[in-house]
Amino acid sequence: MSKVNLSIVAVSILLVVGTWAQNPKKALKPPKPNKAQCCDEVRSLKVQVANLTSLLGELSRKQEADLMTVVRQIMDLDKQNRQQEARVTEAESKYSEINNRVEIMQLQTLQSAPQTTTSDAIYDCATLYSKNYKISGEYKLPKDEFLGTPELSVFCDMETNGGGWTLIQRRKVGLTIFSRDWKQYKSGFGSIRGDFWLGNDHIFRLTRQPSVLRIEMEDWEGETRYAEYGLFSVANELNSYKLLLANYRGNAGDSLRYHNNTNFSTFNKDNDKCVDNCAALRKGGYWYNCCTDSNLNGVFYRYGEHMKGTDGITWYGWHGPNYSLKKVEMKVRPVGFQP
């Protein structure tokens, strides 16, 4: 009996609680918000907004300051960089001055030494190398009646791949025009420390002995490649300085092969194998076929301009027909040269 009564009481209590929970407002009515309270809330919100706004302002000011700091740091770095570059340039010019003095001394010793027999003859940079001149630079090859060679200023590369190289061409400065006539290509033009063509007559003489040709190239990204021909010769003027090549090796591509067995052409002496005047079209003197797979005596185009023309200093096997190289050196030395 008592058990049943208890459960009834429990159920009714639950019911009462449930009813209260369903109507909390009736049981505990909150006070109606009055006008003053509302305005207080609004005011505090306004303060918060104001605080947040000022916080935001502070943050963006801080960001701006950070940005300025970064900009200033970059400018400082740039300045340091330029100072360093200036120092490098200065060092370079000092080095080349010293090098110049060494070369002058070399030339003086060379010229004071009498050349009596032909075995002593100084014929090219390889001979100089074998006489222990091992610094790259400008040398003067003496006149030799027996060999029939005139006095000639040459630039010797005594470092690359064992040294002993006589340069026959260089492109690097870009101020010398290479669109020249037959006569100028015959005797040579330009400056031996800068851009030049040594001259077809001189190249013919140098390559009467079996010679290697090495071509070194650099592009505007600073990458370098080379092409070497184990056999290279140029005929005399009577035979139009015809090119003969063999035994390619290198990583630039075999882009002189197409010019093998062709005569030399200039704009005023069109010996190419084409209806067009290739020398005029490609603005150089070269062994033009119809017309080019390389154009090392073409127009020097600066960075940014170097993809503009098809008459640039091109080597199709590396950068194709529309990319003018930044630097080229062509050099020869006798086959079988021993460093």
Ligand X SMILES: *[C@@H]1O[C@H](CO)[C@@H](O)[C@H](O)[C@H]1NC(C)=O
210 binds ligand X (CB under 6 A): no
What is the smallest separation between the CB atom of 95 and ligand X, expressed in angstroms? Answer: 39
Residues in Cβ contact with 151 at an 8 Å cutoff, skipping those fewer than 6 apart: 140, 141, 142, 143
What is the smallest separation between the CB atom of 263 and ligand X, expressed in angstroms? Answer: 4
| Pair type for strands 165-171 and 152-157 | antiparallel
Sign of CA dihedral 153, 115, 163, 247: positive
What is the smallest separation between the CB atom of 272 and ligand X, expressed in angstroms? Answer: 8
Please name the amino acid found at residue 9.
V
Distance of CA 147 to the CA centre of its chain: 41
Q: How many CB atoms lie within 10 A of CB 105?
A: 10
What is the smallest separation between the CB atom of 284 and ligand X, expressed in angstroms? Answer: 17
What is the smallest separation between the CB atom of 97 and ligand X, expressed in angstroms? Answer: 42
For ligand X, which residue of 80, 81, 83, 239 counts as binding (CB under 6 A)? 239
Distance of CA 125 to the CA centre of its chain: 28
* Strand runs labelled E in 183-259: 189-190, 196-197, 211-218, 224-234, 243-250
Residue placing its CB nearer to ligand X in the complex, 43 or 101: 43
What is the smallest separation between the CB atom of 232 and ligand X, expressed in angstroms? Answer: 10
Site map (CB under 6 A) of ligand X, residues 162-201, x = contact? ----------------------------------------
Residue placing its CB nearer to ligand X in the complex, 54 or 130: 54
Of residues 249, 248, 147, the one with CA closest to residue 202: 147
Q: How many residues bind ligand X (CB under 6 A)?
A: 18
Q: How many CB atoms lie within 10 A of CB 325?
A: 26
For ligand X, which residue of 56, 96, 322, 335 counts as binding (CB under 6 A)? 322
What is the smallest separation between the CB atom of 206 and ligand X, expressed in angstroms? Answer: 19
Span 30-69, contacts to ligand X by CB under 6 A: 47-48, 51
Q: Segment near ligand X (CB under 6 A), from 16-24, 27-35, 140-148, 237-245?
A: 237-245
- The tokens for 44 are 């505090």
Residues in Cβ contact with 231 at an 8 Å cutoff, skipping those fewer than 6 apart: 210, 211, 212, 244, 245, 246, 247, 335
Site map (CB under 6 A) of ligand X, residues 240-279, x = contact? x-x--xx-x--------x--xx-x-------x--------
Residues that bind ligand X (CB under 6 A): 47-48, 51, 239-240, 242, 245-246, 248, 257, 260-261, 263, 271, 310, 320-322
